[in-house]
Structure 1
Amino acid sequence: MALLFMKTFNSESGKQSKFLTAIISRKYWLFFLGTLLIGGILAIISFRGESFKPQSLPQKQNLPEFKILSINPPQGKQPISLLNTAITIIFSEEIDPKSLKLDIVPSFIVTPEVNANDQRILYLKPKSNWILNRQYQFTISVVSKTGRTMNNYKYSFEPFLLVRPSSNYGDYGI
């Protein structure tokens, strides 16, 4: 880059002295100046922090728990107005319907159906009417579409018939 050499010359006293002289030709001068400029820019950027540091691997995000947000009818002894009322389960994430595992005691046949507009909602439609005053215990396992698993969620309910007052007042003459 820079051409450095020792030059010997005669002084008035006739003594020879040596000193270091640096001669930089024009093309080397531009290259040298450009290198200093780029080095300075890189130094400034590296002092700013993140730009030239290798990126760390993304940290595992603390996602909310994959869980059931609500079930209707709620757990326990519940009044129902229709004997073929479907159970509605709302999950915190969209579910993969093919992964659903359902165990019902006593044995009872339901048809699982995922809501077409919101795949977080699962309906369990009974093939026949619920038997009143019988406790049904469900064990639910399912995988979300993001691959998160919920295993062996327990739910039970015991339906009893909700008797609605008749709109026909009959003999009361009202």
Structure 2
Amino acid sequence: MPGPRPAPPRPAPPRPAAARAAGTVPGPRPASGSGSAARPKSPTVRLLPAAPQDALGCADDVVDELLEAGRRPGDVLVLTVGEAHPWQQHELSFGEERYWAQLAEAADVFYADAAAVRQVRREVVVLVVNASGTNRAGSAAVRAAELAGSLLVVCGGTEAVAALFPGAERPVPA
């Protein structure tokens, strides 16, 4: 007796083929092969020094550059080591359940505390070290690198994590 047939697999959404940005953040990498793209063993790491009070602004600039370069908002995760990002505070005002559902939906940039984020990979992770004198930066950077698919950008407090990523890219002084 015939029953319902399984639906054909849904194709992956198309990825933008934006050119690499000339700023501090590279554009999307082209997918290789068919079906599933091979993930690099470790992401490209960019260290952007900033004072703790300026780290959130630096991260906001990075997110803007990523989106302008063609990254999908759902590909970006912003983690803070110090005070929560204002957008995270806003989203939490609607309740914990709705807030964490947004992480799973991956429709927009997601903001979270570096220690509280759940196990969800994103192509790009922006780590905001916006607290001075904290020993959380190193462990947060290692965790952020595990969650990043192709790019990890550390904003502020880079001296605390530089030794962890000896091959990290640094801005060229003007």
TM-score normalised by structure 1 residue count = 0.26
TM-score normalised by structure 2 residue count = 0.26
Normalized per residue, which structure has more strand?
1
Structure scoring higher RCO (CA < 8 A, sep ≥ 6) equals 2
